[in-house]
Structures are given as structure tokens and as C-alpha cells.
Chains A and B, each alone.
Chain A
Amino acid sequence: MSPYLASLLLILIALVQTTLSPHLAILGAYPNLMLLVVLSWTLLRTGREGMLWAFGGGVLLDMLSGAPFGASTLPLLLVSFLSSLGEETLFRTTLSLPLAVGFAGSLLYDSVFLATLQLMGWQVDWPTSLWRLILPAAGLNTLLMPLVYALLRQLHQHIKGVELSW
């Protein structure tokens, strides 16, 4: 896939994340489309491509966010890398893998996001964050993961074999 096309896609997702996602909020938490896209792409393609998407997407989110730079990039990179460890698994084609990765990835992303904020001197209320935002967001992300995964699988099948190249 052309890096220019990938960049455009990531920009679009970042914009959707800042405009559409807040309208889908449930219990104060809203879905993290960029996370779902990165996780799905990592599962469908390779860890390398997933991490490049994570880096590009994270930088864009950091630019659009009030959080300090790196707060989104670091957790996205980490969850992308960890989910790529299941690259060779036989369960890759079943629905259970994206669901499990969606749930675990969301929990990890939010935890690392908050930990990064805390390391940068922000005050973080962990118990409240866990119950009010991290868990509802994980549920919401898990529910949406199959949809995002299915959409990206179409794209993956369309460009199958063509790895991200510069």
C-alpha cells in the first residue's frame, strides 16, 4: 500500500476520531477508532506495517489532542507490537482473536495513555478512570472491533501481497 494513501487514510481516521467518535459516547467513554484500525491492520498485515500505522496515527492524535505529545503514540506502538506477536497464530482467521485483541488492546492502550500522562506530571485518578472510562471504552471498542476488522479485511484483500513501501 502506498504510504501516501496510508497517510491519507490515517488523517481521515484521526479526523473522524475527533468529530464522529464523541457522538458515539456511552457512559462518558467513546470508541477509539484509531486504536481499532491499528489493531486490525496489525492482525491482518504484519507487525511492521501495524507499528508504522501506530506511529503515524499516534502522532496525528497527539497533534489534535490537548494531551502532551507522545501520550497517544506510545500506547499505540506498544499495543500494535504486542498484538503482532499473534501474527502466526492459527486463530487469526476466527472472530475470537480480533475480539480478544480489541478488549485487551483497549485496556492496555488506556492504561499506558494514563501512565504516560502521569509520568509527565498530570494527576490521574486511577480507580475512577478504570470504572468510568477504561472499562466502558474497552467494552465499546470490543463491540466495534469486528466491524472495523471486517472493513479493513476488505481493504487488505484488495491490496493483498503489496506491503507498505516507500
Chain B
Amino acid sequence: MNLWRDQGDVRVAPVELLVLLILLTFAGMALNELGYLEPIQRWILRLLAPPQRTLASITGGVSEFFTTLRELGTLRRENEVLRELADKLMIENVRLKEAEAENEELRRLLKFTRANPRQEYRAAEVIGRVIGRDPSSFLSYLTIDVGEEEGIETGMPVVTDRGLVGRVAEAGLSSSKVLLIIDARSSVNALFQSTRASGMVEGVLGGGLVMKYVSQDQPVSVGDVVLTSGLGGNFPKGLVIGQVLAVHQRDVEMFQQAQVQPTVDFSCLERVLVITGFPVR
């Protein structure tokens, strides 16, 4: 059958073709809802992962080069600020290591005294390279080059050394899609490090984070660090999410909310860690 040539036996009018293709799409949507498209999608992702990885490294390199050129002027000033920050962090790091050692000792003592010590998760980390992003500006997903073959499962938390990135939304055979915390569909139970006041960090369309459902009687200040609270069991407790940029508080509302600056720079993510030891719910 020849559908497209003028001189062919059968010629389909544009409207008929449109209807046919839309019907096919609806059929695909129905099959997808029933889960029948998943194996096909996995194989397509598997096939496309190697060229996507190659393209990502090329485009990443080119983009990095231009970004560096653009930022050359501000790099010196930024370097000084970072140097100061590094000194401060080093001091804080020493203090934290001390606290960690003390914590470890106390934990051992606690375990000794308790008949059934609380079981802890151990994070076995799988390093995944970011090989793609969502084709739509409305959604914030990443594609990473690790999948079920490396022990990745849907729901596993994804982090970098700077903090929480998101969670695995779809694990393929050799690649996975990661829903970023800045996606409008993402929500993470969180708390402020200083006051321990809890809330829910949600993604904002087009990027950004907002912490909602924070009780009105809890003080919230700009600069407060926001951590995962571990409630709900979707993420381990204590992962850094970001810092408060602004607080929106109105007496007439039941809750206050805070605009949060994520610690992770989602625009230039290259490698992430998937916490495989965390029990996925």
C-alpha cells in the first residue's frame, strides 16, 4: 500500500491521516496506562543510551567551554569568596568530625544498652552519569546511565555531594529517569536544621523550591538550612536540600512558606549517586 504518493493506489487526505495518527496515539496512551509500553520503552532507552551518552559528553564539553568564557570575568571574585568559604567550612568540618566521633561512641553505647538496636540503612552508592534531560521545559527529569542491571530500582534517592537531587522515577535496564526535586510534581518531607520545624518541600514550575506547610508559630529565617526529615520513608533523614531565600508569612493563612535555594546546581549536573541501600517504599 502506498499512502503518500500522488500517483499511488490509495491516497489519504491530511484530515484522515491526522485522525488515524491521533487514534494511534490514543491507542498508545491506553497501552501505556495498562503498562504494555513499558518493555518497548525500556528497550528504546537501552538502544538510545549509548548515543545519548556520546552526545551528552560532546554538548556538555562545548557548553562548559562557553560557560567558562562567559564567567571568566567573575571567576576571580568568586574564587576569593570561595576561598573564604572553604576556610570556614574546614573549621566546621573539623568540628563536625569531632561530633561524628562522639556520636559514634554514644551510638555504640546505646546499642550496647538496648536489647534490639535500631536497624540503620547503609547506603551503597551507584555513580550514574547524566546523559540526558527531559525534552520538555515543563518537566525536570534527568536520564542517568545506570539501571536495573546495576541494581537501580524505582524510588531510590539520588544525591550528589552537595545534597538531594531527586529520586528514580523509572528504572530501565541500563538507564533510568530521575525526577528532580525542582519538578512541580516532586514533594519531599523536610525540616529546618536550626528549629527542626517541619514542612514539605515542593518543586516549582520552571525550577526552584518552596517549603510549604510550615507552622505559623515556628520561626523561619533567611539562610536556614533545609534537610530531609525522613518522614514518609521516601528519603533518608538529614540530606541537605537547600537554604531559605525568602519567607512568606501572612497572619491570615494557616501556614507560612519559604522559598528555598537548592544546594545542588541542577543546570550543570554531571554525575550523581543513587542510594541503593535505602529501603524503597
CB-based nearest A residue for B56: A19
Complex contacts, B58 vs chain A, CB 8 Å: 19
CB <8 Å contact, A55 and B205: no
Say yes or no: A25-B267 contact (C-beta < 8 A), given A15-B48, A20-B59: yes
**How many Å lie between the Cα of A17 and that of B133 in the bound state?**
8
Complex Cα gap A62–B141 (Å): 13
B206 on interface, CB distance cutoff 8 Å: yes
Check B59–A19 contact: CB distance below 8 A. Answer: yes
Per the 8 Å Cβ criterion, residues 1-49 of B in contact with A are: 2-6, 12, 14-15, 17-18, 21-22, 24-26, 28-29, 31-33, 37, 41, 44-45, 48
Of the listed stretches B73-81, B156-164, B177-185, chain A binds B177-185
Q: How large is the interface on A (under 10, 10 to 19, 20 to 34, 35 or more residues)?
A: 35 or more
Given A25-B137, A51-B17, A113-B138, check contact A125 B205 (CB 8 Å). Answer: yes
Indicate which residue in A32, A69, A84 contacts B28 across the interface (CB closer than 8 Å).
A69
In the complex formed, the residue of B with least CB distance to A29 is: B137
In the assembled complex, which residues on chain B have CB atoms less than 8 Å from the CB atom of A11? 48, 51
A165 to B10, CA, bound (A): 13
Q: Is there a chain B Cβ closer than 8 Å to A160's Cβ?
A: no
B25 near A63: Cβ-Cβ < 8 Å: no
Asked whether, in the complex, the Cβ of A66 is within 8 Å of the Cβ of B169, the reply is: yes
Chain B residues near A29 (CB-CB < 8 A): 137, 206
Q: Judge whether B143 is part of the interface by a CB distance below 8 angstroms.
A: yes
B63 within 8 A of A: yes
Q: Is the interface on chain B under 10, 10 to 19, 20 to 34, or 35 or more residues?
A: 35 or more
- B179 proximity list for chain A (CB < 8 A): 66
* Across-interface contacts of A48 in B (CB, < 8 A): 3-4, 12, 14, 17
Q: A137 to B267, alpha carbons, bound, how many Å?
A: 17
| A49 adjacent to B143 (CB under 8 Å) | no
- Given A48-B14, A51-B18, A64-B143, A19 and B205 contact (CB-CB distance below 8 Å): no
Check B32 against A28 for contact (C-beta < 8 Å): no
Taken together as a complex, chains A and B put the C-alpha atoms of A122 and B31 apart, in Å, by: 19
B137 partner residues in chain A, CB cutoff 8 A: 25, 28-30, 32, 133, 137
Out of A47, A49, A64, name the residue touching B135 (CB < 8 Å). Answer: A64
Residue of B nearest to A30 (CB): B137
Decide if A68 touches B5 in the complex (CB within 8 Å): no
Q: A81 to chain B: which residues have CB within 8 Å?
A: 14-15, 18
Q: Which residues of A contact B (CB under 8 A)?
A: 11, 14-23, 25, 27-30, 32, 34, 46-49, 51-52, 54-55, 58-74, 77, 81, 84, 110, 113-114, 117, 122-123, 125, 128-129, 132-133, 137, 163-166
Task: Please list the residues of chain B having a beta carbon within 8 angstroms of any beta carbon in chain A.
Answer: 2-6, 12, 14-15, 17-18, 21-22, 24-26, 28-29, 31-33, 37, 41, 44-45, 48, 51-52, 55-56, 58-60, 62-63, 131-139, 141, 143, 169-170, 177, 179, 183-185, 204-207, 267
The 9 closest A-B pairs by CB, nearest first: A66-B141, A69-B32, A18-B132, A28-B206, A23-B63, A70-B29, A132-B206, A47-B14, A22-B133
Q: Can you list 26 A-B contacts (CB < 8 A)?
A: A11-B48, A16-B55, A18-B134, A19-B60, A20-B55, A22-B133, A23-B60, A23-B62, A28-B206, A48-B4, A49-B4, A52-B17, A52-B21, A63-B48, A64-B132, A65-B135, A67-B138, A67-B139, A72-B136, A73-B25, A77-B21, A84-B14, A128-B204, A128-B205, A137-B137, A166-B2
